[in-house]
Structures are given as C-alpha cells and as structure tokens.
C-alpha cells in the first residue's frame, strides 16, 4: 500500500507526464523552434522544413543519441533521426560545419530537419531528444554520468499552406532546380545575423541552371559567362505584385573563374524583390547588370519580364537564385515555403557533379510528369510553359 506522500508524488509525476520511475532530472538543453514550419508539396508528398535549436545550459558535454518529431495530440512518432544521421543534420554555432555528435556546455546547436509524408500532417508537434554524457565529461555523480537521458520540448503548431501558387520565374527549359538540404554551405544551412536577429533567408531557395538535352550547361567555353545556356534569359514576375526593392549596377566577371569573393551583403548581386498580395516576398538574385526593367514601387503583372539572368554577386556560374521570404531585405528575412502552379517534370540529377557532363536521369513511371501546385524536388529537371 502506498503511503500518502509516495502516492502524492506518483500522482504528480503521472499528471506531468513523467514516468514514476524516471531517472533524476538533470540540467540539460533548452529546446526551441524559432520558425514553425508550413507544409509544401513535393512530388505529391507533404514536406516540412524547419530547425530545432538546442542550447546546452548544463556543465556537461552531452552526446546526442536520437531525436523524434512526435504528434502532440496522439503521441505517435512522425519522424526520427539517430546516430550518424542525426549528427549530419546538426551544426554547433561557431564550428565550421556539421556533423556534430555532441554539444558542449554553453554551446548552441541547430538541427536541420526535413521530412515528408503522404498522411495528414499533425496539427501540433513536439520533440523528444535522447542524450548522454560524453565519456570523461565532468559529473557530480560519476556512476550515472553516462546513463541515457531524455528531454521533451520544442512544441509548435504546424502552419497552413499558402493559397497563392506561383507562376514560373523563367520560360521553357530544361532547367535544373538546384538545392540540397545537406550541403554545408548551401542555402538551407546559412544563417545571417543582422539587426540583432539571426535569420535563414534561403530555407526554400532554388538556383535555376539551364541545360540542354544532353546535360550540357554551355555552348563553347563554359568559363565564359555569356556562353552559359541560361545567360540573359528573361526573368519573370511569378504573380501580380508590387516591386518592393531593387539593386542594379553591380558588375559581373567575363569569366566564371575570375569572379571574386564578395562581402556578404553584396553576395546577392543585382536583385529584385516583389511584394506579393499574401504578404510574402519573391526574391530574384544575380541578375545581369543593366537588365532590370522595374523600379521600386512599380506594379507588375504575372509573367512580366523584370530582368535577365546574369552572373553578379557570389555565384559559381550564371543562374537565377529564387526564394520567397517574409521581408523585403534579402539577408534580413526568413525564408518561407511556396509552390508553382504548374510545370513539367523531366527527370533528376542523382549526383550534381554530373551537371554539365552527363544527361540527367529520365523520369520513371512512379511520378507523373505534369506537376501542379508544388515545389520541384531536389536537383530535379523541369520545363516551364513557353
């Protein structure tokens, strides 16, 4: 028979969701999701893209074991990552790059998450992190230093998908939609801290590169920027909108190999930002000098030419950088999801190092070619209406 005090403690633990025989609590992580995700469709599946921030407030270096995204209403596991896979998604702020398998006292780590499902998405998510002390880490209780620990937190509400689907930013094709969440210096993992706040503008950014039927990216010497197949292509307004910001006049190198490094605020090159009717902002970067046809405050119509694809700013070759964000200043805005009203899917590049030297992998019969109201998959090859 339980004594009154024991019964009271047991009832408290049950009420708070803690197991009655839980290990003693430890000082560990503050877990947060600064930007709650909004679903986007990719090849028929709903995708969530967001980050979990882990701040180690303890005096112990903790090794990360596994992380689960849980349906807060049903407690069912929605997605999970562990071991090397979790480490590859984790970057400690101030360290060069992922992977990060542990977080030292006072450090802050970002775990970059993306997952897809064909099932209805949960309305609310929370996260369960399992961790243990790193061998040799200081602990007042050496006997239990390496015992596995668990913390639950970072609860969020999943947002609603945007109703406004976009027209193409370019005509024809084939165009390669270049992005991959695992790239250390790709758009997905690059924060900028301006005006006292860190933001991730390229969370859903795509670099659009033109190829031909054989996968070539240039006619003649590919080191000459003007020889690239996409160079000078018309860049189009993706919706009826108002021009929120313009920058022109940045020069571009004749040769790709001669392009110098730019200060981070000049990395976007020449750009146009359009304010859409639903409060989002469409950002076009690396435009050709002197090609921009609009001024700040202008009203534009969907499909209107606003500039030309170029090679300004930090760029490894002529392409159109395109993303949507929540503000008009490219590096001081959070990237938000979007989809295109329609495009034709031709195939994929399983390895991006084949771009320019080999044809892409043709579309299999598992996915329909005509895509509606969604985002192209990573490194997919698409064609827009002409």
Matching residue, tokens 């989809």: 339
Please, what are the domains in the chain? 29-157 (2.60.40), 175-383 (2.70.70.10)
pLDDT < 70 regions, the chain: 1-24, 136-146
At 292-328, the pLDDT tens digits run: 999 999 999 999 999 999 999 999 999 999 999 999 9
Separation of alpha carbons 67 and 83, rounded Å? 9
- How much is the pLDDT for 186? 81
- How much is the pLDDT for 20? 40
Separation of alpha carbons 26 and 178, rounded Å? 43
- How much is the pLDDT for 172? 96
- The answer for 326, left when phi > 0, alpha when psi is -120 to 50, beta otherwise, is alpha
Matching residue, tokens 């690059």: 190
Q: Judge if pTM exceeds 0.85.
A: yes
């Amino acid at each position: 028979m339980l004594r009154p005090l024991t019964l009271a403690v047991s009832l408290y633990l049950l009420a708070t969701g803690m197991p009655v025989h839980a290990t003693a609590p430890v000082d560990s992580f503050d877990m947060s999701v600064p930007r709650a995700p909004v679903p986007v469709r990719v090849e028929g599946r709903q995708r969530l893209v967001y980050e979990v921030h882990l701040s180690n407030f303890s005096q112990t270096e903790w090794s990360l074991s596994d992380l689960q995204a849980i349906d807060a209403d049903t407690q069912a596991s929605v997605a999970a990552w562990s071991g090397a896979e979790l480490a590859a998604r984790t970057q400690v702020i101030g360290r060069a790059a992922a992977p990060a398998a542990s977080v030292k006292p006072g450090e802050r780590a970002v775990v970059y998450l993306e997952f897809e499902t064909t099932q209805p998405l949960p309305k609310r998510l929370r996260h369960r992190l399992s961790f243990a002390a790193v061998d040799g880490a200081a602990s007042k209780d050496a006997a239990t230093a390496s015992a596995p620990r668990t913390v639950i937190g970072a609860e969020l509400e999943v947002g609603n998908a945007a109703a406004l689907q976009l027209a193409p930013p370019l005509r024809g094709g084939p165009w390669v939609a270049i992005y991959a969440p695992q790239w250390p210096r790709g758009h997905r993992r690059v924060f900028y801290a301006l005006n006292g706040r860190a933001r991730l503008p390229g969370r859903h950014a795509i670099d659009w590169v033109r190829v031909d039927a054989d996968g070539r990216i240039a006619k003649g010497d590919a080191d000459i920027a003007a020889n690239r197949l996409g160079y000078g292509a018309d860049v189009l307004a993706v919706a009826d909108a108002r021009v929120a910001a313009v920058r022109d006049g940045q020069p571009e190198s004749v040769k790709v190999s001669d392009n110098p490094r730019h200060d981070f605020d000049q990395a976007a090159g020449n750009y146009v930002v359009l304010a859409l009717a639903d409060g989002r902002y469409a950002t076009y970067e690396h435009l050709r000098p002197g090609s921009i046809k609009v001024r700040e405050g202008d009203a534009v119509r969907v499909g209107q030419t606003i500039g030309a694809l170029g090679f300004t700013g930090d760029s490894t070759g002529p392409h159109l950088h395109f993303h949507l964000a929540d503000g008009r200043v490219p590096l001081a805005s959070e990237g938000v999801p979007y989809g295109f009203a329609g495009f034709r899917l031709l195939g994929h590049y399983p390895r991006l190092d084949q771009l320019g030297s080999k044809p892409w992998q043709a579309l299999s019969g598992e996915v329909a070619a005509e895509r509606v109201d969604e985002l192209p998959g990573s490194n997919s090859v698409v064609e827009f209406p002409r």
